[in-house]
């Protein structure tokens, strides 16, 4: 079992104990988080659904991200990550949602948002939503893998679990 699957397995144990469900909204990771979660036997007891919203149109149509938010902040922003997480909650039966949007590279970066910039959001059904931006190094695969690990670890932390990552 790889590190992502270990994180997903621990998350699943916590969600089952709490009787809660997870939904994911992914852009730059292209479903990698959902794949890591569904690699765990029995994940259908705690993972409701995943949204791969790579294009802005998909973010708008599937998650209800406002066009004005995309225009004002850009797809790689905490505002869009929050809207993605909240949209995943609104369009699922989940208690928790996490969102990932970023620039995995090798192109697409700018001086303001260089390659490796990834925005995350974690939202709960009770209305809380936190967002954070990270800067990861490495090639495209490394940025994407680090993003999935960070998102899973972030939800573990918000659920009160000891984080696995240093």
Mean pLDDT by 10 residues, the chain (166 residues): 94 97 98 98 98 98 98 98 98 98 97 97 95 98 98 96 48
Domain presence at residue 163: no
Between CA 122 and CA 124 the distance in angstroms is 7
pLDDT, position 164: 43
Distance CA(67)–CA(56), nearest Å, equals 8
pLDDT at site 162: 53
What's the CA gap between 128 and 138, in Å, rounded?
32
Q: What is the extent of the structural domain holding 70?
A: 3-158
Whether residue 77 lies inside any domain: the answer is yes
* Domain assignment present for 32: yes
**Residue 53: cis peptide before it, omega within 30 degrees of 0:** no
| 113 part of a folded domain | yes
Number of domains in the chain: 1
Q: Does the residue 138 lie in any domain?
A: yes
Token pair of 164 as six digits: 């696995």
CATH number at residue 116: 3.90.950.20
Tell me if 165 is assigned to some domain. no
């Amino acid at each position: 079992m790889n590190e992502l699957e270990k994180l997903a397995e621990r998350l699943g144990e916590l969600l089952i104990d709490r009787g809660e469900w997870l939904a994911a909204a992914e852009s730059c990771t292209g479903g990698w988080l959902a794949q890591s979660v569904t690699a765990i036997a029995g994940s259908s007891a705690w993972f409701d659904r995943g949204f791969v919203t790579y294009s802005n149109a998909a973010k708008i149509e599937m998650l209800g991200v406002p066009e004005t938010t995309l225009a004002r902040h850009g797809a790689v922003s905490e505002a869009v990550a929050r809207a993605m997480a909240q949209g995943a909650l609104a369009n699922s039966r989940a208690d928790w949602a996490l969102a990932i949007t970023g620039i995995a590279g090798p192109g697409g970066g700018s001086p303001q948002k260089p390659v490796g910039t990834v925005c995350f959001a974690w939202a709960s059904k009770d209305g809380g939503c936190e967002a954070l931006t990270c800067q990861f190094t490495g090639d495209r695969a490394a940025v994407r893998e680090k993003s999935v690990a960070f998102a899973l670890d972030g939800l573990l932390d918000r659920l009160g679990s000891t984080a696995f990552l240093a």
